[in-house]
Chains A and B, each alone.
Chain A
Amino acid sequence: MREALLGTPLARICCAVLLLVVLAAITGPWLSPWDIDAVDWDAIDAAPSAVHWFGTDGVGRDLLVRTLTGARLSIVIALAATLVSCLIGIPWGATAGYVGGAADMTMMRVVDGLYALPFILLVILLVVLFGRNIVLLFAALGAVSWLDLARIVRGQTLAAKNEAYVEAARAMGVRTPGIIKRHIVPNVIGPALVYATLTVPGVIIAESFLSFLGLGVQEPQTSWGVLIADGAREMRSAPWQLAFPATMLAVTLFALNVLGDRLRDALDRRHSSAT
């Protein structure tokens, strides 16, 4: 795990970048003299300067603060959606893997079926029809990103279910739900959590995508998707309004992907050397 995160210079740079983004997102809006909706009448559509490091937008709001607030939102969404996907994916995969037979077939067929659908449609429907509140957005994004996790947890469960301690528990008369809860889940949860972090870039992309279409976060709240959509509209006259949020999003996704690949490789290696 440590080797995966810090093994090569590229991995170390990516870790540093992510750390920086998180730190800036947490402290930035708080340290900055500007509020996310404070208007600077002397600097409307202003280019980056010493006062506004990232420039300002069309109504004179500081873009640095807005970009960092967007980062906050992306981080919170990533955490919340990952949590939701764990809450669905881990029990689903563990039950399918442990119970086996027809139940396993049906449950994994459902996963296959959902996998084949353009899921973002359902998220859009949910968000539009039931009002655009952020909690719903979290839940909807989490609810569509548990599929991979369920498959992986099922695989891990198939390996765990023949272990001696599971057999012992069964012999002592522990019922199926008890075995899954007490013995299977605690044993698969470590790798499952690492895999769950791999869904983070996908969730960040999905959120920015929805906000870009105007279906996600609403003014005065902001996110990278909203900022990029606004910036794209003004890119000919004020390119910095697009450049800063777009770069932040791309750099963050790049770092997450690099680290995610290394984590996955490390887990695969451990898994194949164990069997």
Chain B
Amino acid sequence: MRYYLLRRLAFAVVTLWAVVTVTFFLVRLAPGGPFDGERRLPAEVEANLRAAYDLDQPLLLQYGRYVVNLLSGDLGPSFRQKDFSVNELIGMGLPISVGVGLAALSLALAMGVAGGTFAALSRDGPRDRLLVLGATLGLALPPIVVAPVLVLLFAVSLGWFPAGGYATWKHFVLPAITLALPYAAAFMRLTRGSVLEVLSRPHVVTARAKGLGRFRLVTRHVLPSALLPVVSFLGPAAAGLLAGSMVIEEVFSLPGLGRYFVQGALNRDYTLVTGAVVVYAALVLGFNLLVDLCYARLDPRIRHA
């Protein structure tokens, strides 16, 4: 198992390095620079600015310096927001994005696993049909459709939750629900499929024949093996949630990481964009490692390998 985890770790590090490199060069090779504004700067001013941010150095040297700084956790100064370093900007946005993301993920997981198990247990019954239809509907309603509708309903008409901002926990309810819905649907379909498959396995049939109660049957014998595909979908789901959070932050005016990323890309704030991508990738890869760890604990074939 240690070998398995070490291999996963090495894989994550290599992927992260590839992401850093690709983003670094992509951003710098693209036409247009951070100091192109409405008005052209005088040549000397621009030269000085470029020198101040080391942009006049050879590209490879810049890259080397960036990687060295990155290893000590420094993402550099922001090119456009003069008084801030990228670390500070990301430090402000990250907690909000991660908070919304984790809330949405837990919600999606809870709804999906519960719904999927219920659906599978009443296979082809009316409850199953309803849940499956609900899941198909959930997948067909992307956040850009759900978010405005929820705001109209719960914020404008009913006034239960605020429509935007981030002062209290109430501000996070609508964003988390919006973000969670499609993933709840995806988790539900996965759970339903794999519970159905596990229900027909010999060990479950035996347990049922022994007269085990339904609840214990499901929690002890069905879910531990049925959850494996769900766990392995957590990684891609986390990547998707982070992307989805960009729309959510826009709609609910939450100043999260996604907003800094979009702004940074529009302003060609090289360091901010690269920093945001690096943090996103590190988050997702770290989460994937965590998922691998859970997977290894759940699956005896890996635990004892």
Contact = CB atoms under 8 A, between A and B. Distances in A.
Main secondary structure, interface of A, reads: helix
Interface string A86-126: 00000000000000000000000100110111111110111
A209 B144 contact: yes
Chain A contact patch, size range: 35 or more
Contact of A125 (B15, B26, B151): B26
Interface in B1-37: 11, 14-15, 18-19, 22-23, 26-27, 30-32
A18 interface: no
A117 B147 contact: no
Interface stretch (A75-83, A163-171, A181-189, A242-250): A242-250
A156 B27 CA distance: 38
Nearest to B141: A250
A118 B280 contact: yes
Contacts of B261: 121, 124
A258 interface: yes
Interface string A111-155: 011011111111011101111000000000000000000000000
Interface in B267-285: 268, 273, 276-277, 280-281, 284-285
A117 to B, nearest CB: 6
B262 A116 contact: no
Interface in A221-267: 225, 228-229, 231-232, 235-236, 239, 242, 246, 249-251, 253-254, 257-258, 261
A23 interface: no
A109 to B, nearest CB: 7
Interface string B190-230: 00000000000000000000000000000000000000000
B18 A113 contact: yes
Interface residues of B, number: 50
A117 B262 contact: no
Pick from B148, B152, B288 the residue with the most CB of A within 10 Å. B148
B13 to A, nearest CB: 11
A213 interface: yes
Interface of A: 109, 112-113, 115-122, 124-126, 128-131, 201, 205, 208-209, 212-213, 215, 225, 228-229, 231-232, 235-236, 239, 242, 246, 249-251, 253-254, 257-258, 261
For the complex of A and B, the 9 pairs showing the least CB-CB separation, nearest first, are A129-B30, A254-B140, A232-B148, A253-B140, A120-B243, A128-B265, A118-B239, A113-B15, A246-B145
